[in-house]
């Protein structure tokens, strides 16, 4: 079983839709959770950062962490064509210098 699983998509939605992106993980020691957005031929951009469980909202984006289910989500409200990108989840244990573990990314297309 991979440490982090993420559906690669592609996911295609109409403009204005609510988008739900998800990752599951197997290591209960993960404490730091991040979502990145990566446009084609660009470096990943940090969108959301959450420590432990709970929700975090930033504009049209909401990140949720459910540690009991080992499941994290990113919701995008009122999706726009500019949201078309690959979204990567990432997480890290709460100890020392352990590197981030990434999902493989979900490719999202928002159609105008």
Partner 1 sequence: SQTIHQWPATLVQPVGSPLSLECTVEGTSNPNLYWYRQAAGRGLQLLFYSVGIGQISSEVPQNLSASRPQDRQFILSSKKLLLSDSGFYLCAWRAPSNEQFFGPGTRLTVL
Is 41 a binding residue for partner 1 by CB under 8 A? The answer is yes
What does the alpha-carbon distance between residue 104 and residue 60 come to, in Å, rounded to a whole number? 23
Provide the terminal-to-terminal Cα distance of the chain, rounded to the nearest Å. Answer: 37
Task: In angstroms, give the least distance from the CB of 99 to partner 1.
Answer: 5
Residue 39 lies near partner 1 (rule: CB under 8 A): no
The least distance separating partner 1 from the CB of residue 40, rounded to whole angstroms, comes to 10
Q: To the nearest whole angstrom, how small is the minimum distance from the Cβ of residue 28 to partner 1? A: 18
Distance CA 87, CA 70 (A): 18
How many positions of this chain bind partner 1 (CB under 8 A)?
Answer: 21
Is residue 108 a contact partner of residue 11, using CB atoms and an 8 Å limit?
A: yes
Backbone angles phi, psi at 72, to 5 degrees: -125, 150
Q: Residues interacting with partner 1, by CB under 8 A? A: 32, 34, 36, 41-46, 49, 51, 88, 90, 92, 97, 99-100, 102-105
């Amino acid at each position: 079983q991979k440490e982090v699983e993420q559906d690669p998509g592609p996911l295609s939605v109409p403009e204005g839709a609510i988008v739900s992106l998800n990752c599951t993980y197997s290591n209960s020691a993960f404490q730091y959770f991040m979502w990145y957005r990566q446009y084609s031929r660009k470096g990943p951009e940090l969108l959301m950062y959450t420590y432990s469980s709970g929700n975090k909202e930033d504009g049209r984006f909401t990140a949720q962490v459910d540690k009991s289910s080992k499941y994290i989500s990113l919701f995008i409200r009122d999706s726009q064509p500019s949201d078309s990108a690959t979204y990567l989840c990432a997480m890290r244990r709460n100890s020392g210098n352990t590197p981030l573990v990434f999902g493989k990314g979900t490719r999202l297309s928002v159609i105008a």
